[in-house]
Structure 1
Amino acid sequence: MRIGLVTLYRGYNYGTSLQAYALKTYLENLGYETDIIWKRESAHSGRDIRLEKIFRMCKRSIFRPKLFKETVKGYLGNFHNAPSKKIKQKYLDFTEQKLKVHALSNKQLKEFAASPKTLAVVCGSDQIWKVNAANVDPMFYLQFVPKEKRVAYAPSFGGSSVPNYNKKIISKYLKSIPYISVREKSGIDVVYQLTGRKVESVIDPTLLMDWHELIKPSKEDYILLYFLDEPSDLVLKKIVKVAQKKHLKIYAIPHQFDKYDKYPEIQLKSVGPMEFPSIIANASCVYTDSFHGTAFSVNLNSPFMTFQRNYKSFKSQSSRITNFLELLDLSTQYITLQQQTSFNPDFPQLDFGKVNREIKKQREKSYKYLTGALRDIRVRS
């Protein structure tokens, strides 16, 4: 049987690309032919720029100045922090060779979903259900799929509360999906508030996989900086001091922030999606503000510290990370904005044996949910 997968995979983001790869691979290992499907409308090979999406965003935000401002700011920020041509090409090669996305028209999407060959269409993971989005995309809520074939695996809302302007439409879409799981504990509350339904949380697709067989050993000893927002000088000074004390190199991905120019010790590395697990696994310590930077560090048992991002948008997305760390009893590794003036940057000593046991437990729970939903659809069809 065949499964369609609707998820984010563009944007030159390691986590976005690898979660798509992980869920596709996981479903294939369960014995299903799995195709990532997408609307054939984007005018940009590396980013999700669809005319329908842009129109919907403008229509919904034009009378909400704050939403419009933040939407534009977010897009401009993405382009400002665009990776080098070399890294972009690695992403495009990864998409072509590993994800093999099927770009379909609206008619073809509906035909694919309705076909007897298609058991189900799964949406998730990542922030496909972002609560403060100007574009609440019906594709990400599987509105083109026959209702009985709709399955949500680990979507993230990117926050713990839904703005009033999105409550009605998100509630409507959620009520139309018979099989729902979410990635964060806070997402359970969101679904309940909007639908009255009790759903369960499952782990991010990247945590379903054991990446060790893809790891290439390194002869270098280094600290890794993986920041999506520019870290403060105070944080950088402390990290540089630790590196000097331990005689370690400092590698940074994926951006060359302006502040990095002050520190000749920091070297930018050109890393693509398939190289990302290795650079995490081989690091003496990972300093990050990214959810997937945190998730891969945990999964690969690399010491890490996760810093709260100074979100300039009106909705913080920190609950994604704090929920995850609470689940694994690793909340001490989260450095809030207030703590960044006094945190100890030295490498943490973590009990990864305990962490690995909890991840195994969560994998079993996630397997049970996903296989149960697909089995139920198969029995009913």
Structure 2
Amino acid sequence: MSLRVGVLTFHRPINYGSYWQARLLVEGLRAMGHQAELIDHDSPAMRTAERRLSLRPTLPTPVPREDVPRYKEKIRIFDRAHEALPRSCSVPLQSIGGLDPYDVVVIGSDEVWNLRHPLYGGRVAFYGVKLPARRIVSYAASFGNFSCWEGLSEPWSELISLLDAVSVRDENSWWMLKHALGREVPLVLDPCLQFDLPEAGKSPIEGAYALVYGHN
């Protein structure tokens, strides 16, 4: 049976991991025959905050002036890629409840439950509040750098316990929910490992090479 599925995740950051986990989860669900799309939560304030972070990715180290045009071009490239993703109409995060209802909303993957996230920490939509769906589940959700040793307090643990199904992608998140919910939840693959990547084309580099990804 084909279901109408909305995916609620971090799909707009200027971040390769965020982009690919969002895209591959939606494409994977579509390959299974479902009508899947990203729930396009968006606002001018969030876009501005995201761009400020993207222009200063080496904080606290200052960005060399000659690198600024490259970061601006990177933002433009991501903007074009985001616009090509299957998505709902754009709405503020707090207005998602006004969208046409889905059969299922999938929360995840990515660190959607990271209470320390500078932009999205503690946003209740990522815990299932007022989402327009018959069933609400998480897939490969993560608490990011919010450690399980700190524990999960109310209302977050209660909200997660009300979801129809829960899965996480990392050991820290697994232990967090084992302590908070008193039960073991499935530990699953990130969409980037679960689903096939599209053809990337021919590598511009001949022969063996090492790719170093990161900064600072």
Q: Give the structure-2-normalised TM-score.
A: 0.78
Matching of residue 88 in structure 1 with residue 81 in structure 2: no
Q: How far does the alpha carbon of each residue in 1:236-277 deviate from its partner, in whole angstroms, 9 at most, with x for none?
A: xxxxxxxxxxxxxxxxxxxxxxxxxxxxxxxxxxxxxxxxxx
Paired residue for 1:225? 212
Paired residue for 1:171? 157
Give, in whole Å, the separation in 2 of the partners of 1:162 and 1:137. 22
Matching of residue 129 in structure 1 with residue 116 in structure 2: no
Give the 5 Å matches for 1:275-314. none
Higher relative contact order, structure no. (Cα contacts within 8 Å, ≥ 6 residues apart):
2
1:98 CA drift (Å): 2.6
Check whether the contact 1:3–1:119 (CA below 8 A) recurs between aligned residues.
yes
Give, in whole Å, the separation in 1 of the partners of 2:180 and 2:4. 31
Matching of residue 2 in structure 1 with residue 4 in structure 2: yes
Give, in whole Å, the separation in 1 of the partners of 2:204 and 2:126. 39
CA RMSD, Structure 1 to Structure 2 (Å)? 3.1
Amino acid at match of 2:20: L
Paired residue for 2:32? 30
Q: How far does the alpha carbon of each residue in 1:81-137 deviate from its partner, in whole angstroms, 9 at most, with x for none?
A: 676222111100000013545312568522436x3xx21100101111115447311
Check whether the contact 1:10–1:47 (CA below 8 A) recurs between aligned residues.
no
The structure having more radius of gyration, on CA atoms, is 1
Check whether the contact 2:104–2:133 (CA below 8 A) recurs between aligned residues.
no
Give, in whole Å, the separation in 1 of the partners of 2:184 and 2:190. 19
> Which of 46, 49, 59 lines up with 1:77 in the alignment?
59
Structure 2, unaligned runs of 5 or more:
none
Change in Cα spacing, 1:175 to 1:122, as seen in structure 2 (3 Å) is same
Specify which structure has the higher proportion of helix: 1
What secondary structure sits across from 1:8 in the alignment? coil
Give, in whole Å, the separation in 1 of the partners of 2:87 and 2:202. 24
Give, in whole Å, the separation in 2 of the partners of 1:218 and 1:100. 31
Aligned residues: 201
Check whether the contact 1:132–1:163 (CA below 8 A) recurs between aligned residues.
no
Give the 5 Å matches for 1:346-357. none
Structure 1, unaligned runs of 5 or more:
50-73, 231-381
Give, in whole Å, the separation in 2 of the partners of 1:12 and 1:107. 22
Share of identical aligned residues, percent?
25
Specify which structure has the higher proportion of strand: 1
1:26 CA drift (Å): 0.6
Matching of residue 41 in structure 1 with residue 43 in structure 2: yes
Amino acid at match of 2:22: A
